[in-house]
Structures are given as C-alpha cells and as structure tokens.
Amino acid sequence: MAARPAAGAPVSMLLPLLLLLLLVPRLLTAEPASGSVIPAESRPCVDCHAFEFMQRALQDLKKTAYNLDTRTETLLLQAERRALCECWPAVS
C-alpha cells in the first residue's frame, strides 16, 4: 500500500503559492529606477530601425546587381572579341 502524505503537506505547499500571488502584482506595477528611462521622443521606434535596415539591404542589393551587370557585360564583350578574333585569318 502507498504511504499517504501528511495532512500538513498541502497547507505548507500553499504558503509559497500565496506569497507569490501577493508579490506578483507588486512586481508588475513596480516603477523603473529613475534616470534609466529614455523618453519616447528621443528613441527611434522599431519601425524606423526596420526601415533603415531595409534601406541598407536594398542599397546592397543594388550594388550587387550593378556589379553582376557590369561583370556580365565585360564577359560578353570578351566573348565577342574572341569570336571576332577567331574570324580573322591569322597573319603569318
């Protein structure tokens, strides 16, 4: 047969729970330390950070696209030059 818990065990477990329930509202409504709060007017919003990040990403993509376009153009010109050079008879 299993041993039955003592009658005082559930009461002793409720005490920490009751203390926690009493302290949680105080913790939630506690004021932050003075001097550590930055006014909303002087800190950029999350949307502004996201917008700046997206602007930088777009600039990087534009640079990459330009570099790829330039490289492709260079390779095409080299290929055309080779094709033209192969058409000319070799001078001996």
Q: Tell me the pLDDT band of 82, cut-offs 50, 70 and 90.
A: confident
Q: Write down the pLDDT at residue 59.
A: 95
- Of the two residues 52 and 2, the one the predictor is more confident about is 52
**Does 1 have pLDDT greater than 80?**
no
What residues does each domain of the chain span?
9-88
- The predicted model gives 49-68 an average pLDDT of 92
Task: Write phi, then psi, for 42 (nearest 5 degrees).
Answer: -100, -5
- The predicted model gives 60-69 an average pLDDT of 95
Q: Write down the pLDDT at residue 15.
A: 73
Q: Write down the pLDDT at residue 23.
A: 73
One-character DSSP codes across 70-81:
HHHHHHHHHHHH
Maximum pairwise Cα distance, the chain? 113
